[in-house]
Amino acid sequence: MDVDKKYFNNITPRERAIFEGAITMGAIFHQFDGTPVNKESVESLEKAMQDAMQLQPCIEKVEVKINRKLLENIGNEFQYTSLNGNMLDVRVVSVFEEEKIVIRMEYIPELDYPLMYVEEID
Amino acid sequence: MDVDKKYFNNITPRERAIFEGAITMGAIFHQFDGTPVNKESVESLEKAMQDAMQLQPCIEKVEVKINRKLLENIGNEFQYTSLNGNMLDVRVVSVFEEEKIVIRMEYIPELDYPLMYVEEID
Amino acid sequence: MDVDKKYFNNITPRERAIFEGAITMGAIFHQFDGTPVNKESVESLEKAMQDAMQLQPCIEKVEVKINRKLLENIGNEFQYTSLNGNMLDVRVVSVFEEEKIVIRMEYIPELDYPLMYVEEID
Amino acid sequence: MDVDKKYFNNITPRERAIFEGAITMGAIFHQFDGTPVNKESVESLEKAMQDAMQLQPCIEKVEVKINRKLLENIGNEFQYTSLNGNMLDVRVVSVFEEEKIVIRMEYIPELDYPLMYVEEID
């Protein structure tokens, strides 16, 4: 079966790249939110998030940065916290045919919200 | 701050609707995959998935159907299973300005994969 | 196969009740952390969390209360937030043979941490 | 505040070790179930699961093995699958005072279920 022809002939290549990148961004947030994390474990978590999410259709690259500053002042005696969206800075590079886009998630202080948007598009 | 003007002026209203709907579809899968479920609990799970995911930006409606047939023949003695993508049939209705689209996730037997695609678009 | 005899003959009934209740408490936190929630959706989320987690072995009852106060002052323009452990007050009633225990999770301000502990035990 | 004295004086050190280990086992399953995985990404996922879950209270070590055989015959064209409990073989070493226990999760074919049990205890 030609999946692209059968299921995706109603959208443009540019829209397809947006579609697949956005799915992956939603997936990253909701898969890993809640994971225990501190300064010792943060690197392996970032790497696993990247490696896992790069497997998804049309995803060329995923870059995950977890805010180290938010890991420095952990206010509890257990020396770790739970990953939440406000700690995340993520770029997802999505490609379909000639179209390549970058989707970004970053915490926007004015919004008090981890906003997802299209950062680069032709 | 005008979020739409600042962060989304590089994509069309149609692309914005695709973008937001796709995020929500990725989110649904990865938030709830793994939840214990059987025939007794399936309705409240569907409802919670819908109510939660309708909160996301630009999402007008979410319809979740979990395949009852896959809940009938649970092969273990514990009488429940873990929700997985292959059980899910989901429609996300996403609206931005005049644009309204429907994104679908359904298990495609030929692909052995829960495919996400744009089902309805003008 | 007699699962109890084969896999659980090295612990007492009281320990078994603790074991199963603790598994379920860890599961609740990590399954649902990150779910979008506000005052409109909170009830169906609580119900789904209860119904799903009561399916696990030896679990008689699960009571989930999500802190409404933390849903009142949502500081962003999107009118919802992501569920996190600090919002949760959960009781899991776990029973094995004659032993019945209650496990509790609640946010402890002094610890700035959602603590899980055994609340009631004979 | 002395957390152990205030919240855990109703259970023995052995019960405490069981309690904390079981929480972590429930957490591992429900945090990571659903993560995209294939043979290329499996190692970084195992490492992140271990590093994250070793942060939890009383956890000395976590060993995660994801079944490579189940990653070899992925029946879809996308060359990855979603992590599920049946692929997992996990050991959690939990210590409180003099008590040290090992909790195991492994898929039991006769049960068609990823069983969690206490593997080693004095």
- Asked if pLDDT for residue C122 goes beyond 90, the answer is no
Q: Do D85 and B33 touch (CB under 8 A)?
A: no
Q: How far is A22 from chain D (nearest CA, A)?
A: 16
Looking at residue D77, its pLDDT comes to 78
Measure CB to CB from residue D11 to each of C18, C115, C116 and give the nearest one.
C18
- Rg of chain B in Å (alpha carbons): 16
* Interface predicted TM-score of the whole assembly (ipTM), two decimals: 0.96
- A45 contacts in chain D (CB < 8 Å): 48, 51-52
- Average pLDDT, stretch D33-53? 98
User: Does A52 contact D at CB distance below 8 Å?
Assistant: yes
Looking at residue A73, its pLDDT comes to 77
User: Does A80 contact B at CB distance below 8 Å?
Assistant: no
Summarised one tens digit per residue, pLDDT across range A36-89 is 999 999 999 999 999 999 999 999 999 999 999 999 978 677 899 999 999 999
Phi, psi of C43 (to 5 degrees): -65, -45
Opening angle at CA C24, ends C18 and C27, nearest 5: 140
Cα–Cα distances (Å) from D78 to A57, D38, D82, in that order, read 7, 10, 11
User: Does A79 contact D at CB distance below 8 Å?
Assistant: yes
Residues in a beta bridge with A91: A63, A104
Phi, psi of B4 (to 5 degrees): -60, -45
Looking at residue B7, its pLDDT comes to 97
Q: How far is B113 from chain D (nearest CA, A)?
A: 6
Asked if A22 contacts A115 with a C-beta cutoff of 8 angstroms, the reply is: no
User: Does A55 contact B at CB distance below 8 Å?
Assistant: no
Residues in chain A: 122
- Average pLDDT, stretch B84-93? 97
